[in-house]
Amino acid sequence: MTTFFPGPSRVYPQIATFMQEAFDKGILSISHRSETFNAMSEKTVGLLKNKLNIPDNYTIYYTSSATESWEIIAQSLTKNQSVHFFSGAFGEKWFDYAQKLRPNAIGNTFEINADHNIEEWNIAATAEIISITQNETSNGTQIRPQLIQQLREQHPEKLIAVDVTSSLAGISLPFEAADVWYGSVQKCFGMPAGLGLLICSPRAVARAKEIADRKHYNSLLILDDNIQKWQTSCTPNVLAIYLLMRVLETIPSIEETDKMIKARAKAYYEAVKESKTLMTLVENIAVRSDTIIAIKGSKEQVLEWKASAKNENILLGAGYGKWKETSFRIANFPALQQDEVQAMLVWLAKQ
Ligand SMILES: *Cc1c(COP(=O)(O)O)cnc(C)c1O
């Protein structure tokens, strides 16, 4: 059975070997204050920068999840107010978490088919940080990466924070254009869940120093003190860091992955268009995601599609939030193998 769930998702087949390797090498019992750990952590950060084209002067922190980053950004990078723009459940959850910690947070919603007219976004002068969900996993939309550059040019004085949980390591991202990027490894990294990454620009780190929050185990400054030694404030998921290092050693550069993912996305959308019964949840081509393909239908139809796919050993991803029962999703993540993608294309064309 091939899972097309968008997280947890299909893991790379080589994960089995890497896990055994970690056990055999004694990695599972090393101290997270040891030289062995420091070297592994440093190497992993270097590989992330190299494989994903993350600027050298950005700092990468280990977290437990993307959800943790929602809190870190509110605690350590927002004195009073963040402003959020979203069309789906993950952007909304981020706003909810931010609002609990910073009650003056402002939430702006837009329709899933709305064009992203960045120049029309109403951004309060008092807002310190602009928060966007680049790839909205719940409904299969994306804010095109080049628009983030435009957002930066229009609001050079604000920090920009971007949720890239379901696109990081899947498509090329313009890291220079924003200050905070975060995600977790159970999506485009093709790994089991349990590790998150938070990527900060020098400006973001400087802002954290200005705000000087040190009240939490995961205050950004405490993470920063530790990562100077390639360490973390608590005992991290050492196995996941090892797996991440090994995965990064074996995957191609992001330029190559980006091309593959976009070609596969194009093939998926064409297959849906050709099919007699399937319809994309997102009608506006300009805002469709490359890594999450969402397809809508009646509740009964969705059940039928799931059963028919299952017969061919294909596990369709469930819908999410308000589209839970009237849509299904296809994860277009790099760990899916070419023959599995082909089987999905064949199934789609038959519907
Ligand atoms: C999956 C996902 C999250 C949550 O990730 P966790 O690692 O479970 O915290 C947040 N945002 C987006 C866009 C996601 O796809």
End-to-end CA separation in angstroms for the chain = 19
> Ligand 1: which of 165, 181, 186, 292 to mutate, most ligand atoms within 8 Å of CB?
165
Is residue 118 very low, low, confident or very high in pLDDT (cuts 50, 70, 90)? Answer: very high
Q: Whose CA is nearest to atom 14 of ligand 1?
A: 165
Block residue for tokens 């019992």:
29
Distance CA 89, CA 83 (A): 16
Rg (alpha carbons) of the chain, rounded to whole number: 20
Q: Which atom of ligand 1 lies closest to the CA of 7?
A: 1
Taking residues 72-78, what's their average pLDDT?
98
State if residue 72 touches ligand 1 by the CB under 6 angstroms criterion. Answer: no
State if residue 134 touches ligand 1 by the CB under 6 angstroms criterion. Answer: no
> Ligand 1: which of 133, 164, 184, 244 to mutate, most ligand atoms within 8 Å of CB?
184
Q: Check if the beta carbon of residue 4 is closer than 8 Å to that of residue 328.
A: no
Closest CA to 235 of 43, 72, 70, 31: 31
Closest CA to 47 of 197, 204, 165: 197
Taking residues 169-181, what's their average pLDDT?
98
Element (H, E) at 182: strand 180-184
C-alpha triplet 262, 346, 252: angle, nearest 5°: 35
Residue 26 alpha carbon to ligand 1 centre in Å: 30
For the segment 296-344, what is each residue's pLDDT rounded down to a tens digit?
999 999 999 999 999 999 999 999 998 999 999 999 999 999 999 999 9
For the segment 240-260, what is each residue's pLDDT rounded down to a tens digit?
999 999 999 999 999 999 999
β-pair type (135-136, 317-318): unpaired
Longest CA–CA span in the chain (Å) reads 59
